[in-house]
Amino acid sequence: MLFSIHTNERRLLTVVAIVAAVVLSGTVFYALEEGWSLINALYFSIITLTTIGYGDLSPTTDVSKVFTMLFVVCGVAMFGIFIRDIANRAVNTLSAPILGASILENSRRLTNQLDLPSTRGVVALSVSSSGALGRSGIKDRDVIVFINNKPVHRVSQVFDITTKALLNNPVEFTIIRQDGIHKVSVNLVPG
């Protein structure tokens, strides 16, 4: 096999666990330090991480103010990653019926393993032989580099480019396999 594929499932579960741990740590901290009820501490943690910040609760001690600064810096970043991963999963779910494929990985690591000049990442697919991509010759675990000569770096691009291209069949995929670079023309809509 040309490269090792890791699913995004593990990454999503890791991000969910980290976000849950951050929310839990904030909840416990505010309950203990500020003397808030668990529901108020949880409420404040989530409102803070989502950057809503109603202002009805706020830290009162110097220790909790310093904690809140660190909590916001770390927590907001993790919450953003969580939202991005959920959005990518939604795009993957929506694109699977159209393409007959799902995204296995969107990764900079693949770019490095394949020794590609781009540092922005590439997209690898899990392809069903009965779907539009599989019937056209794209194989399971192929790595998409270009669609209609446009570089593909993100999962959402696969969905965006292919749905826009539905009106302009065929769609040309440039893919990498163990035996080299291939161009595959795909008719997403029969006829």
Q: How far apart are CA 114 and CA 59, in angstroms?
A: 49
pTM of this structure: 0.55
pLDDT of 147 above 80: no
Nearest Cα neighbor of 71 from 40, 55, 47, 54 is: 47
Report all structural domains of the chain as residue ranges with CATH numbers, in order of start: 8-92 (1.10.287.70), 100-186 (2.30.42.10)
- pLDDT at position 139 is 72
Inter-residue contact 152 to 158 (CB < 8 Å): yes
Confidence of residue 13 (pLDDT cuts 50, 70, 90): confident
pLDDT of 161 above 50: yes
pLDDT of 32 above 90: yes
